[in-house]
Amino acid sequence: MSMTREQVAHVARLARLDLADNELDRLAADMDAILSYVDKLNELDVDGIEPTAHAVPMENAFREDRVRPSIGTEKALINAPAGDDSCFLVPKVIE
Amino acid sequence: MPFIDLNLQQLQSKLAGGEFSSRELTRAYLDRINATGGSLNSFITICEESALAAAEAADIRRKKGDAAPLTGIPLAVKDIFNTEGIRTTAGSRILENYVAPYDATAIARLKEQGAVLLGKLNMDEFAMGSSNENSAAGPCRNPWDPNRVPGGSSGGSAAAVAARQAVATLGTDTGGSIRQPAGHCGVVGLKPTYGRVSRYGVIAYASSLDQVGPLARTVGDCALLLQAVAGFDPADSTSVDTPVPDYSAALGEDVRGLKIGLPKEYFIDGLDADVKQAVETAVAVYRDLGAEIVEVSLPHTDYAVACYYLVATAEASSNLARYDGVRYGRRVDNGSGLIDMYCRSRAEGFGDEVKRRIMLGTYALSSGYYDAYYLRAQKVRTLIRDDFNKAFDQVDLLLTPVSPTPAFKLGEKVNDPLQMYLSDIFTIPVNLAGTCAMSVPCGFSGQNLPIGLQLIGRPFGEETLLRAGHAYQQATEWHLKTAEI
């Protein structure tokens, strides 16, 4: 298989990455090489094999529903690229 | 004997005996870091002021008779752990000014004991890499040969121990990121069983594979550090609620009668001749110590790298979605709106390898490809895990090389991502299976580069790993050799 620049650009949009044309071309070549390598998984018959999502089989991990101290507004905002006293600021979403 | 030549166990007894204070010890390590850290680029942040303050507090605590095992011991950690009030970058430009507002559980546990944090160590960006060359802080170098990589992604964690800039460090291991650099730098590195150590506050790469673990010069020192950080944490629902044994107690036992398996798929044609010889010599040491050596098979080994680069990148693409320029991290100007701001902040903030993995993972999870890639990889993961389960029906431990070659040169593999990925061929299967493994120095190549031996244990079989690793270090002197820096 061979990835086109258009396909790579589509994936970049899904991944929210604004990539330059030369980056798209390089990624197309890299992804091609890596995806042809991972195609070796098709050599295996996996019919009827249960997928493993996690190393430790675990059902829902419940804990008591109890109010505990949390990090607080001030601390939560210290790394905000843009914020005021109580919230994160983002570019206008609704016109 | 200068402070820096002592191991953690020795430091403990000398601090307890009052031979020196933690303040003196910490000062000595900071001087060592300042003298040698620059040329290796092993540290991203040095915490001089807070380290000395913590050392003084530790000395006071000791005088009160309230010392814990790690009180006053200077340590350093990979820059992937959130450390309250200290810059935490994960080796990325996107987090270059991020100051963690809380401590990771592993860090909190070290602090509870009064350990001293010397600084934050260099790493591949978001732990993605095998050479520490993918760091926004620049590459870290191997103390044994500055033209070579220290391995990755915990390159700084291994290099700092080898250069005696810290007696022990913490790293993380998603596909070999503790064991491979430990092997390349001639130190011990332990990847505990998935769920043994809390991941809370550890910046995530691939959540079903990431695990925290210690690096040190001796197996005994790794046992002490593992003891401090292991155990259930309500803040990490994937940490396992099973009792933490006394790891140091396991060190006394010999290996007589222990059944050690050599997986035939790990002793392949591409294996470097020096690596092969060093590992075979280590096998002979175990045989002499009374272990029983048998050949076993892990038939799906050859599929592990392909499986890993689908599972890990899929999880990474999801985990790294959080870097959106809103709550923390780099943001470019607002652009033409919210989506544009996301896309440009991420494109500017992430390095090439991180973008490559996000793209691969996004592709593998995207509509129409999920079944062919991600779901199939998860099924192959089951086959790989079953291989280990079957092998552990026959043997107590597996013994393999850590890496197919000793440390490679800086720049040698940066332009060939697939070749870089294949350098982790012997470490990746362990993460997919979720079990524990340890890298132990077992010799040197003709070019005087360290070679590592990998011991793989059953899930929650860390005691057996430590017992076998310690017995090997009692019988050999590889871990006593030091890099000249």
Instruction: Name the A residues in 34-53 with CB < 8 Å from any B CB.
Output: 34-35, 37-44, 46, 49-53
Helices (H), B163-272: 179-185, 219-229
Indicate whether B26 and B143 sit together in one domain. Answer: yes
Are residue B38 and residue B153 in the same domain, yes or no? yes
The residues, any chain, with a CB within 8 Å of residue B64's CB and separated by 6 or more, are none
B421 in a domain, yes or no?
Answer: no
> Token pair of B7, please?
């191991």
Domain assignment present for B17: yes
How far apart (Å, rounded) are the C-alpha atoms in residues B351 and B367?
26
* Nearest chain A residue (CA) to B431: A55
Annotated catalytic residue B64: no
Q: Is residue B239 part of a domain?
A: yes
Residue/partner pairs of B49-54 with CB below 8 Å, 24 or more apart: B50/B85, B50/B86, B50/B117, B51/B26, B51/B116, B51/B117, B51/B118, B51/B119, B52/B23, B52/B26, B52/B27, B54/B26, B54/B111, B54/B114, B54/B115, B54/B116, B54/B117
Which of residues B336, B358, B376 is at a domain's end?
Answer: B376
Residue B312 forms part of a structural domain: yes
The verdict on B114 and B226 lying in the same domain is yes
Place of tokens 């390598």: A37
- Both B132 and B240 in one domain: the answer is yes
- Residue B176: give its domain's CATH number: 3.90.1300.10
Which of B42, B130, B131, B153 is an active site residue?
A: B153
Q: Residue B21: how many CB atoms within 10 A of its CB?
A: 17
pTM: 0.97
Which domains are assigned to chain A?
5-43 (1.10.20)
Active site residue B367: no
Q: Who among B331, B335, B417 is closest to A82 (CB)?
A: B331
In this complex, the residue of B328, B338, B380 whose CB is nearest that of residue A46 is: B380
Catalytic annotation present for B153: yes
Does the distance separating the beta carbons of B327 and A88 come in below 8 Å?
yes
Looking at the structure, tell me whether residues B202 and B325 fall in a common domain: no
Total tally of structural domains belonging to chain B: 2
Same domain? For B114 and B231 the reply is yes
Last residue of a domain, one of B339, B354, B376: B376
Is residue B429 in some structural domain?
no
Same domain, B132 and B197: yes
Structure confidence by residue, pLDDT tens digits, B447-463: 999 999 999 999 999 99
Sheet holding B397-401, edge to edge: B43-46, B116-121, B74-78, B168-173, B211-216, B188-191, B436-444, B450-457, B397-401, B259-263, B292-296
CA dihedral B213→B221→B29→B138, nearest 10 degrees, is: -30
Question: Is A67 in the B-facing interface, judged by CB distances under 8 Å?
Answer: no
Kindly report the nearest CA distance between residue B392 and chain A, in angstroms. Answer: 16
Q: Phi and psi for B211 in degrees, rounded to 5?
A: -150, 140
Is B212 contained in some domain? Answer: yes
Residue among B99, B337, B360 whose CB faces A34 most closely: B360
Which of A27, A37, A42 is facing B356, going by the closest CB pair? A27
- In this structure, the answer to whether residues B79 and B178 fall within a common structural domain is yes
Q: Angle at Cα A48 formed by Cα A45 and Cα A49, nearest 5°?
A: 75
Whether B207 and B126 have beta carbons less than 8 Å apart is answered as no
Q: Is B440 contained in some domain?
A: no
Which one, of A67, A77, A62, lies nearest residue B99 by Cα? A77
What is the full per-residue pLDDT of chain B (485 aa) written as tens digits?
578 899 999 999 999 999 999 999 999 999 999 999 889 999 999 999 999 999 999 999 999 999 999 999 999 999 999 999 999 999 999 999 999 999 999 999 999 999 999 999 999 999 999 999 999 999 999 999 999 999 999 999 999 999 999 999 999 999 999 999 999 999 999 999 999 999 999 999 999 999 999 999 999 999 999 999 999 999 999 999 999 999 999 998 899 999 999 999 999 888 999 999 999 999 999 999 999 999 999 999 999 999 999 999 999 999 999 999 999 999 998 778 999 999 999 999 999 999 999 999 999 999 899 999 999 999 999 999 999 999 999 999 999 999 999 999 999 998 888 888 888 999 999 999 999 999 999 999 999 999 999 999 999 999 999 999 999 999 999 999 999 88
A1 close contact with B: CB closer than 8 A: no
Interface contact B337-A37, CB threshold 8 A: no
Query: In the listed set B376, B407, B437, which residue is the last one of a domain according to the structure?
Result: B376
Listed by number, the residues of chain B in 161-220 with a beta carbon closer than 8 Å to a beta carbon of chain A are 194-195, 208-209
**pLDDT tens digit string along B292-332?**
999 999 999 999 999 999 999 999 999 999 999 999 999 99
Backbone φ and ψ for B41, nearest 5 degrees, come out as 55, 45
Contact B449, B148 (CB under 8 A): yes
Residues of B in contact with A12 (CB under 8 A): 359
- Residue-number span of the structural domain to which B306 is assigned: 302-376
Residues B250 and B307 in one domain: no
Same domain, B162 and B48: yes
The rounded distance, in Å, linking the Cα atoms of B222 and B403 is: 20
- Partner A contacted by B235 (CB < 8 A): no
Unique residue bearing structure tokens 């290796």: B40
Give alpha helix (H) positions in B235-303: 273-288
Has residue B79 been placed in a domain? yes
Residues B165, B40 within the same domain: yes
Angle formed at CA B21 by CA B18 and CA B27, multiple of 5 degrees = 155
The three-class DSSP label of residue B144 is coil
CB contacts of B300 in chain A (<8 Å) are 44
CA distance B161 to B167: 6
Rounded Cα distance between B228 and B420, Å, is 33
